[in-house]
Amino acid sequence: MTYMNIRLKKNILLYVFLLTAVWIRAQDSPISLSSRVDKSKITIGDLITYTVTVAYDEGMQIQMPGLGANLGGFEIRDYNEKEPVKKDGRIESSVDYIISTFFTGEFEIPPLTIFYAMPEDSVFNPLTTDPIQILVESVKPSEAGDILDIKDPLEMPRNWWITLRWPIIGAVFLALVLAGILFYRKRKQGKGLLPVKKEPPRPPHEMALEALEKLKASDLLETRQIKQYYIEISEIIRHYIEGRYYIEAMEMTTFEVMQNLSGADISDEDHRLFYAFFDACDLVKFAKVIPSDKKNLAIMDDAFDLVDRTKVIFTESESVENQEDDSIQSENTNGNKQNNHDHKTDDSESRLQPADNENAEM
């Protein structure tokens, strides 16, 4: 029997002995300590799990060895302190050390010391594990003994992602930058990134008449909210002036509105009616005048009359077969329009027709 075989048997016996656990105290002791390794023979760089376990009665205080424990020639690669568990009427605490070394030979894990204190005792007593022997061997070469032939060069598969990833990332980044610039410009102009189909704006007289009808149907007069009634009817006409004459009437005083209306395309009679309307509203709004019920109804009729007198209607021209003749006829028709209101125009474009004629017919 060779020396190596005898040494191997000794190591096997030592390993079996370690697996049975080394108990430091007798079974009737209030505390017991054991230590073990998962393998006692390794090669350079292999990892060993070294476990220290303490079983103790409830109420005892235990101080387990920490991460800085001295494990001789071994390097601590990891440390795991497990949660205490109750087992066989005792508390069991354990800690695992993952250790390794890059030297060959026989090594010893030196004894580790824990400290414990009995219940209602502040003095800690030491308790020490037994040392454990570890054999570390070098990595042995292949026992095949044959030197293999040199293999043919391997052809690496072409990775298109590595080749094209930067151009793709650059293109995506450039697209995001351009989209951001476009979005910023659209947002600055008050537009969305994508075109949105918008409904044509409603004529200002339609919105004014609709608002007047709604105010007329309200209960402001019945509940004697006279001032609020005059405020709202005045604002409706001011909004109408903004849409009809492009005057910022909501931000102006009555005097400023009338000044701006003087420069607009409006007759003297309509200008006088606007002034009378706003003057009546201002007396209620600012002078706290309480008009009669008859005047409250009359101010509403005046508002309807102002819108009807000054509104404009958009009409769509009739289509004809010959576009050139239509254009010449449209010019002649526009020249004679002031003298003949019954003549139909064939103009290919939309025109504005004052509503005064409609009121005259009514």
pLDDT band, very low/low/confident/very high, at 138 (cuts 50, 70, 90): confident
C-alpha 96 chain-centroid distance: 44
3: left (phi over 0), alpha (psi -120 to 50) or beta: alpha
Confidence of residue 301 (pLDDT cuts 50, 70, 90): very high
Which of 8-12, 33-37, 322-326 is predicted least confidently? 322-326
In the prediction, which pLDDT does 185 show?
Answer: 85
Q: Got the DSSP string for 255-324?
A: HHHHHHHHTSS--HHHHHHHHHHHHHHHHHHTS-----HHHHHHHHHHHHHHHHHH-EEEEPPPP-S-HH
What is the separation, in whole angstroms, between the first and last Cα of the chain? Answer: 135
| 22: confidence class by pLDDT, cuts 50, 70, 90 | very low
Closest of 314, 311, 303, 306 to residue 213, by C-alpha: 303
- Are the C-beta atoms of residues 115 and 126 closer than 8 Å to each other? yes
User: What confidence score (pLDDT) does residue 340 get?
Assistant: 37
Q: Is pLDDT at 257 greater than 70 in this prediction?
A: yes
Q: What is the mean pLDDT of the chain?
A: 78
Q: Are strands 41-43 and 132-137 parallel, antiparallel or unpaired?
A: parallel
Cβ partners under 8 Å of residue 262, min gap 6: 271
DSSP state of 89: T
Q: How far apart, in whole angstroms, are the C-alpha atoms of residue 258 and residue 260?
A: 5
Q: 115 forms bridges with which residues in the sheet? A: 63, 126
CB neighbours of 215 closer than 8 A, spacing ≥ 6? 229, 232, 233, 236, 300
CA-based R_g, the chain, Å: 51
The pLDDT of residue 28: 59
Query: Which CATH code is given to the segment(s) 3-137?
Result: 2.60.40.740
Distance (Å, whole) CA 39 – CA 134: 8
Q: Which residues pair with 31 in a beta bridge?
A: 56
Q: What is the pLDDT of residue 141?
A: 59
Instruction: List, in order, residues 6 or more apart from 23 with CB less than 8 Å away.
Output: 32, 33, 34
The arithmetic mean of pLDDT across residues 302-315, rounded, is 87
The values of phi and psi at residue 35, to 5°, are: -140, 150
Confidence grade of residue 353 (pLDDT, cut at 50, 70, 90): very low
Amino acid found at 8: L
Res. 34: pLDDT tops 70:
yes
Task: Find out whether 260 and 307 touch, Cβ atoms under 8 Å.
Answer: no
Between 139 and 311, the more confident residue is: 311
Query: Phi, psi at residue 124, to the nearest 5°?
Result: -95, 135
Residue 338 pLDDT exceeds 80: no
Cα separation, 70 vs 341, in Å, equals 114
pLDDT of residue 238: 95
Q: CB count, 10 Å around CB of 210?
A: 12
- Domain range annotation of the chain: 3-137, 204-310, 315-333+344-361
